Structure 1
Amino acid sequence: MSYSAPSQITQRQLAYFEGKHVLIAGELIDDFPIELDKHCASTSIFTTNYAYYQQFSEHQSIKCHFGAELVEDTNADMILLYWPKAKAEAEYLLTMLLAKLGKDTEIVVVGENRSGVKSIEKMFADLGPINKFDSARRCSFYWGECTKNVPTFTLQDWFKEYQVQFKEHTIEVRSLPGVFSHGEFDKGSELLLQTLPSLRGHVLDFGCGAGVLGSVMKTLNPKIHLDMVDISALAIASSIETLKANGIEGNVFASDVYSNTKENYQFIVSNPPFHAGLKTHYSSTEELLKKAPQNLTHQGQLILVANSFLQYPPIIENAFGHCETLAKNNKFKIYSAQK
């Protein structure tokens, strides 16, 4: 079994988990929970990643929770936190999970050094002792214990609010930590919106993030039927709040690319992700492009924005037989293809 570097360093320290009820959270990408479950009293997972949730949802001995917040009861007495790429997301997860589990919870934090995992020392300082006990494969392994009373957690307090101006419209955006374009209007999304034609029929906003694209599209084209999907529960919660803040109707739901979507879209519009954690990752976008024709109606259209260096045109050409560049600047290009 091949594990990620953070899981490999955790595997070296299995003694910390003996007899514990362990709740795993954060940037977890492999099957290490199955290995860990052999050494714990029980193992459970909290994930904001829908694909990872699907992977473990039918597992017999490991309970997997998906959402922006852990609302189910748990008997966990230890948290194993895989440090995410965004420090703000790490703080969010830590605060939320400790508020759920309470005082006397043990915590293990593991992550790549370049991700800023050392920040846990300062972040945890007011909660109890935490120390680094191992270092390998450019990763660090911390163990600590929450010895102080934990502040209550209220999800609404974690939304960052900002405004996006587009043409004569003002969109109120509400975004949780770890969500793309958290606190700012992405320049790629702005170029995409400037380039979009008038929309009609069923429209899919793939990788909806904080809901900026979907909200602007529905504002400019109020008669469309809008679906907004993302793999991240934090993005789903953010988009729902953004729609609510602007009085906009839309269907927002989790989907691993097309796993939960329809097959009759007139438009698929996307500012697709190309990072998974700290690594560049293209597989979900490649699937989006390759399978777009079978998810579009007759003469349906795919429109997306991408960094100029990304080699998406050959994939689009292979799927549609052609690929047009509708607009470009020094950083982004807008690609389109019609079925």
Structure 2
Amino acid sequence: MSRLSNRATDRDSTVAGVAAEALAERRPQGRILVAGDTDGAMEEALADGGAEVVSWHRLGLDGKPATPWPADGAFDGAVLRLPRGWAAFEMALHALAARLPAGAPLWIAGSNDEGITSAPKRFDGLAEGVETLTIKRRARLLETRRTSDSAKGNLEDWRETVALPLPGRDGALDLVSYPGLFAHGRLDTGTECLLQVLPEIAAGTAVLDFGCGAGVIARAVRERTPDARLTLLDIDAVALHAARQNVPDAECVLSDGLAGLGARERFGLIVSNPPLHRGKDEDFGMLEALVAGTKQYLKLRGSLVAVTQRTAGVGKLFKTAFGHADLLLETPQFQVWKGTPK
């Protein structure tokens, strides 16, 4: 199964390159906050032009340090790489705007198919005077100016508590979430399928929740097996910030793959509702890497249990990796597979 998409990576490079050219011509000075430049081209162009660049990455891609919120302080301008989802855009816009004085420039970079032309409709009164500085290869850079409207500049301004019903538990469970997180405010149907057939977990078992999001699966494990030893891994620093509150005694690892675990004791169980998209593009790379790399992180007779969309065709992938795999549940939309190395 080879559906790993390079389109997202190519798009990131194109957007960064187009924006970097325009920023190099603009040569902004002073302290510039740059959010989400995974390619690095925009930061490099600003630094080469004499600006003091401060980076903020929310996603821990390729080992980059990431934090749920940007550093405090005053800035002379900011650059925002349009993130996936308008909720994430709104949060990032407020975070940056709260660190800019009125009249300071704010640049927003993105591609047409990501919705960059719709961004000005979502400024929430924080910016005005939009000018398109460049349009090339379906990417563009917008320049706007900070207004004097107040912004929600602290991460906890966005914190929400949601009540989720979990299979096998009487009553709903209150969990912390933030706008834009996976299945925010609801129990994802795929996660519900996985929890319905989750194997019994012995006391003291080391369990990894891979791609944990806000920690819903891990919290369900904690409810069923209070002394399970939990590790939660996710690429999104905001998701991990929520997960730490929902499963406060768990170890949290910020990483885009299993390699972020390093050398450690192996797990008796790995559970996952893995992401199958990067940005707007379908990307099975993380799922493939998870299944292929699981063996070295599982104890003898340990198992990987994962839920995916039925159209993903994961059965062949599991059987290739483990020699045998069990289909625990199948619905018209989802499948839950269990693989145990022989």
Kindly tell me the number of residue pairs found equivalent between the two proteins: 323
Contact 1:199-1:221 at 8 Å conserved across structures: yes
Deviation sequence 1:215-253 (CA, Å, 0-9, x none): 111101212111111110011011122235xxxx32223
After TM superposition, give the deviation of residue 40 of structure 1 in Å. Answer: 4.0
Aligned residue number for residue 135 of structure 2: 135
**Partner residue in 1 for 2:41:** 32
Change (3 A) 1:179 1:300: same
CA distance in 1, matches of 2:27, 2:316: 48
Picking from 288, 291, 296, the partner of 2:290 is 288
- Amino acid across the alignment from 1:9: V
1:51 to 2:61 alignment:
yes
Q: Which amino acid aligns with 2:67?
A: G
The equivalent residue for 1:183 is 185
Quick one: distance in 1 between partners of 2:90 and 2:50?
25
Using the size of structure 2 for normalisation, the TM-score is 0.86
**Counterpart residue type for residue 326 of structure 1:** L
Q: Secondary structure at the match of 2:256?
A: coil
Gaps of 5+ in 1: 58-65
**Partner Cα distance (1:204, 1:296) in 2:** 10
Mapped to 2, the partners of 1:123 and 1:289 lie a distance apart of 39
Correspondence for 2:117: 118
Aligned alpha-carbon RMSD (Å): 2.3
Using a 3 Å threshold, how does the CA distance of structure 1 residues 125 and 15 change in structure 2: closer, same or farther? farther
Q: 1:235 aligns with which of 235, 239, 258?
A: 239
Distance in 2 (alpha carbons) for counterparts of 1:125 and 1:88: 12
8 Å CA contact 1:171–1:215 kept in 2: the answer is no
Deviation at 1:18, TM superposition (A): 4.1
CA distance in 1, matches of 2:50, 2:149: 26
- Residue in 1 that maps onto 2:250: 250
Contact kept in structure 1, 2:34 and 2:43, CA below 8 Å: no
User: Does the 8 A contact of 1:121 with 1:131 survive in 2?
Assistant: no
> 1:274 and 1:29 mapped to 2: Cα distance?
19
Letter in 2 for 1:46: W
1:148-195 deviation digits (Å, cap 9, x = unpaired): 254352322212332111232422122122311112211000000001
CA distance in 2 between partners of 1:102 and 1:241 (Å)? 33
Q: Distance in 2 between matches of 1:328 and 1:170?
A: 25
Q: Do the aligned partners of residues 71 and 18 (structure 1) sit closer, same or farther apart at CA in structure 2, a change above 3 Å counting?
A: closer
Query: What is the correspondence of 1:202-217 to structure 2 with a 5 Å cutoff?
Result: 202-217=206-221
**Is it true that 1:218 corresponds to 2:222 in the alignment?**
yes
TM-score by length of 1: 0.87
* Secondary structure class of the residue paired with 1:163: strand
The answer to whether the Cα contact below 8 Å between 2:20 and 2:42 also exists between their aligned partners in 1 is no
Which residue of structure 2 lines up, in the alignment, with residue 71 of structure 1? 71
Partner of 1:17: 27
Of the candidates 13, 16, 21, which is equivalent to residue 4 of structure 1? 13
2:267 equivalent in structure 1: 265
Q: Specify the alignment match of 1:80 in structure 2.
A: 79
Measured in 1, the distance between the counterparts of 2:152 and 2:101 equals 9
Q: Find the counterpart in structure 2 of residue 61 from structure 1.
A: none
Aligned to 1:63: none
Q: Distance in 1 between matches of 2:86 and 2:124?
A: 15
